[in-house]
Amino acid sequence: MTTRRHVLSFALASTITAVLVLPALAQETIKIGELNSYKAQPAFLDPYKKGMDLALEEINAKGGVLGKKLELIVRDDGANPGEAVRVAEELVTREGVPLIAGTFLSHIGLAVTNFAGQKKVFFLAAEPLTDKITWQNGNRYTFRLRATTYMQTAMLMPAAIAAKKKRWALVYPNFEYGQSAAENFKTMLKAAQPDVEFVTEQAPPLGKVDAGAVAQAIDDAKPDAIFNVLFGADLTRFVREGTTRGVFKNRTVLSLLSGEPEYLDPLKEEAPVGWIVTGYPWDKIKTPEHMAFVNAYQKKFNDYPRLGSVVGYATIKSLAAGIEKAKGTDTEKMIAAFRGLKVDSPFGPFEYRASDHQATMGAYVGKIALENGKGTMVDFKYVDGKDVLPGADEVKKLRPASAN
C-alpha cells in the first residue's frame, strides 16, 4: 500500500512539474509564424524554405536573438486568400505567434496584409510583388521584402526605351501581379515614349495558359516588341510555343523574373536567348557576401541556391534584426524597429524604408544566353532597389495616411 502511495505521489509530482516546465520551455524560443503556397508553387518555395532553414541554423548556432532561439512554425495557405486568412488567424490565436511572415502570390499577400491591419499583427510579406501591399493597400503593420512589380519594371525600362520600338504586345497572368506589372509598364513607357502603341494584351488565367493560342495572337498583332510577365509552367509553355511559331524572332522581348533559376532551368536548351530579364545569375555573382551564402547553402543542402533561397534567407535575417532592435516582439516596437531597419543579405546591405515599409533589396538585370546546354544570364548588373523607388512626396500620394 505504502509503495503504491509513493508511486502515485511521484507520478502526480512529475505531472505537476511537467505542466510547470512546459510553458517555461516554450518561452525559451521566439516563435515566427510563416504561411505560403508550398504545394502550389514548389519551384520557388522549396528553395525559399531551405533559405529560411539556413538562416535559422546560423542565427540559433550563435545563441539566437536576445538569448532565445528562433522557432519557425510553417503552414500552407492553399494558394487561396480565404484559406490564407484562416491559417494566419490560427497561427496567431492557436500557436501564439507574435508575428507572421511569408506569402507568394500577390492576391494572397493582399489578403494577409488586410488581416494584419485588422488584427494589428506584425506581417513581413516576403515575396508577393504587387505594389498595393506597401502603397494603396498598405498599413502600419505590414512591411515587404522583395522588389515590387513597379521596381522590377522600372529596372527594365532603360532597355525598353533604348529599343525604340513603337508597337508592343503584352502577355501576363490575369491576377493582381500580372495586371499591376502590365499597368506599370504601359504607364512608364508611355511617359517616356508618347507615340508608343500597345497592339495586343494577352492575359490568360494563372496556370492555365493556352500557349499556342496566346503566341499566335501576339504574332498576328505584328508587334515590334513583347513585354512578358508569365512565370513558372506558363512561361515554359509560352516559350516553347512562341519559339516553334517564330514569334520572338527579330523582336525585342523584355520579361520579368525569367532570369530566375526557378523558371529558367526547366527550359534547359530551349531558354529564349536574347531576352532582357530580371533574375538571379547565382553562379556568376562574386561578391564576398554572396559567395559566403552560396558556400554555406551548398554545404548544407548539396544543391545550388535559387532566388527563393535568397528571399527566404533574407526574410529570417530581417526578422532577427528587427527583433534584436526592438528588444522583443511587441508589435508597436517591431514597427518602430523596422522603419529604417538595415539588414545584410547575400545581395549586400539594404533597408526598410520608413516612408512606405518597402525594402530596398534590388535585383539583377541582364540577357538570357545558352551555356553548356542550359540558360543563364549574361551582361548583367545589380540594380539597387532604392534607385527605382519613388520619393517620400510621391509615396504620400500613393499610401493611405492611416498606414503611418
Q: What is the pLDDT of residues 214-244, one digit of tens each?
A: 999 999 999 999 999 999 999 999 999 999 9
Which pLDDT score, from 0 to 100, does residue 27 have?
58
CA distance linking residue 68 with residue 143, whole number of Å: 24
Instruction: Give CATH superfamily name and number for 150-281+365-387.
Output: Response regulator (3.40.50.2300)
> Quick check: helix, strand or coil at residue 259?
strand
Which pLDDT score, from 0 to 100, does residue 28 have?
86
DSSP E strands, 251-404: 252-259, 276-279, 342-343, 350-351, 363-371, 374-383
Mean pLDDT for all residues in the chain? 93
Order of strands across the sheet that contains 99-102: 69-76, 29-36, 99-102, 122-125, 142-144
Which pLDDT score, from 0 to 100, does residue 21 have?
42
Single-letter code of the amino acid located at 364 = Y
Q: Which three cell numbers stand for residue 241?
A: 510555343
CA distance linking residue 368 with residue 347, whole number of Å: 20
Which pLDDT score, from 0 to 100, does residue 402 have?
86
Biggest alpha carbon–alpha carbon distance for the chain? 98
Q: Which three cell numbers stand for residue 315?
A: 526574410
Which pLDDT score, from 0 to 100, does residue 123 have?
98
170 contacts 201 by C-beta, under 8 angstroms:
yes
pLDDT, tens only, 265-322: 999 999 999 999 999 999 999 999 999 999 999 999 999 999 999 999 999 999 999 9
b vs e for 244-254, b when ≥16 Cβ sit within 10 Å of the residue's Cβ?
A: eeebbeebbbb
Alpha-carbon distance values, 402 to 85, 115, 354, 356 (Å): 22, 15, 14, 12
> Quick check: helix, strand or coil at residue 40?
coil
Name residues whose C-beta falls within 8 Å of residue 129's C-beta, 6 or more positions apart in sequence: 106, 146, 147, 148, 149, 152, 177, 180, 181
Which pLDDT score, from 0 to 100, does residue 404 have?
82
Q: Which residue ranges in the chain fall short of pLDDT 50? A: 1-5, 7-26
Single-letter code of the amino acid located at 355 = S
First-to-final CA distance of the chain: 69
Which pLDDT score, from 0 to 100, does residue 120 have?
97
User: Which residue intervals of the chain bear CATH 3.40.50.2300?
Assistant: 25-148+286-362, 150-281+365-387
Which pLDDT score, from 0 to 100, does residue 378 have?
97
247 contacts 277 by C-beta, under 8 angstroms:
no
By CB neighbour count within 10 A (0-12 exposed, 13-18 middle, 19+ buried), where does 221 fall?
middle
Alpha-carbon distance values, 154 to 3, 149, 277 (Å): 79, 8, 12
Task: Tell me which fold the domain 25-148+286-362 belongs to.
Answer: Rossmann fold (3.40.50)
